Amino acid sequence: MNRIAQSLTRWIGSPQSILVHTLVFIASFGAVWFGVLNFDRMLLILTTVVSLEAIYLAIFIQMSVNRASDSITVVEKDIDEIQEDVGEIQEDIDELQEDVEEMSEEELAEVERKKTQKMTLDEMHAGLRKLVEEVERLQKKQ
């Protein structure tokens, strides 16, 4: 049912809908012109159909508004959660900044030394990996 309502709402707002409505109005007045209907009966039918269409359009529009409102509510909840996460991250950053500021120069030098050691170990590991690959390649050639 929702899919049908969405399709109809989408179609009503299209150029094809304008064309169909225009053709229906032309046909209605054409029916009077060619004597198929008298003017009063045609106006009665046309205004009844247009009134029913307006009622259903109002319902479809309200359904669209309700769906949009539900989507906005979900997005608002996501935004609230993201803002909370950002606040927590900012608190962590502040704490880390305080920790760094409290560290002595010796401790900072130690952290820097460990960082350098890690980089050196990573470089050695990469070099060994290349060496092993080269040995394996040479063994395959033999």
**Residue 32 burial (10 A CB sphere; 0-12, 13-18, 19+):** middle
Query: Which range in 31-45, 63-77, 85-99, 113-127 is most confidently predicted, on average pLDDT?
Result: 31-45
pLDDT at 17 over 80: yes
Return the number of other C-beta atoms located less than 10 Å from residue 57's C-beta: 14
Q: What is the DSSP code (8-state) at residue 34?
A: T
Residue-level pLDDT at 142: 67
**How far is it, in rounded angstroms, from Cα 83 to Cα 94?**
16
Q: Are 43 and 32 within 8 A, CB to CB?
A: no
